[in-house]
Amino acid sequence: PANDTDSLRQTLIAGSLQVQQQIIPQLADLGNEGLSVLMEFLLKRRDNPATWIDGKAYQVLYNSDALPAKEFLLSCFPEGIVPLKSECGINYNPLQQLLAAQDFQAADRVTIQKMCELAGPTAVQRKWLYFTEVENAPAVDLQTINYLWLVHSEGKFGFSVQREIWLSLGKNWDSFWPKIGWKNGNNWTRYPNGFTWDLSAPRGHLPLSNQLRGVRVFASLLSHPAWAKSAT
């Protein structure tokens, strides 16, 4: 019904974040008419940095079977809504696709893989990182990975979210682990099935960073100059 679509359209354009968040799934339920409102919304906002609201709208189109949505994304946002900047030629499109599909578990694996690629071929073979490799990782690439997580998680997941929580707890790891759902009492959360692979997880729950070899790598990541300015 055109009337519904039109009033939702107005509300989407003018509403608060919270209202927009509620409107987007309603538009998704309205078929092609609703989808075209979401397309218009994304186009109008494309000159500004993407926020997680853009992420929501994009994800509806990305996960839709409708042909107009597919054609729109192919011509206007072939690589998603986050610029996939890399200083060392790494392709972040696989990560963007998994996050757009809200497959957080696979996205987490790819994130670990990409972090190793950043460090170079020996780290790719080793499948884990030394803290010195994290210290030397280019800020641009870390920001791209982080921005992808933020935009596709309602701002809930990402290294900068973890850093913000960690700093707010005075860098106290014992308070930090339970806060992000990685430890419950004396028990580490079990990989992979103990973790929560959707948006019902606590803030900062993802992406994971294996603590088997100690906290040093994660500390370097959360202290990286990439986050010094408000890169959130």
Site string for ligand UYC, 129-168 (x = CB under 6 A): ----------------------------------------
Query: Looking at 111, 153, 189, 220, which residue binds ligand UYC (CB under 6 A)?
Result: 189
Is 128 near ligand UYC (CB under 6 A)?
yes
Q: Which C-beta is closer to ligand UYC: that of 21 or that of 211?
A: 211
Among 2, 74, 212, 228, interactor with ligand UYC by CB under 6 A? 212
Residue 2 engages ligand UYC in binding (rule: CB under 6 A): no
Could you write out the three-class secondary structure of the chain?
CHHHHHHHHHHHHHCCHHHHHHHHHHHHCCCHHHHHHHHHHHHHCCCCCCCHHHHHHHHHHHCCCCHHHHHHHHHHCCCCCCCCCCCCCCCCHHHHHHHHCCCHHHHHHHHHHHHHHHHCHHHHHHCCCCHHHHHCCCHHHHHHHHHHHHHCCCCCCCHHHHHHHHHHCCCCHHHHHHHCCCEECCEECCCCCCCCCCCCCCCCCCCCCCCCCCCHHHHHHHCCHHHCCCCC
Window of 2-10, 90-98, 142-150, 184-192 that interacts with ligand UYC by CB under 6 A: 184-192
Question: Which one among 57, 60, 208, 221 touches ligand UYC, defined by CB under 6 A?
Answer: 208
Task: Pick the binder of ligand UYC from 146, 153, 209, 220 (CB under 6 A).
Answer: 209
> Per this entry, what is the length of the chain?
232
For residue 175, state whether it binds ligand UYC (rule: CB under 6 A).
no
Least separation in angstroms between residue 121's CB and ligand UYC is 18
Range 22-61, binding ligand UYC (CB under 6 A)? none
Q: How many CB atoms lie within 10 A of CB 206?
A: 28
Stretch that binds ligand UYC, among 33-41, 158-166, 206-214, 221-229 (CB under 6 A): 206-214
Alpha carbon 80 to its chain centroid, in Å, reads: 12
Q: Is 196 in the site for ligand UYC (CB under 6 A)?
A: no
- Residues of the shown chain interacting with ligand UYC in the complex, contacts defined by CB under 6 A: 112, 128, 182, 188-189, 191, 208-212
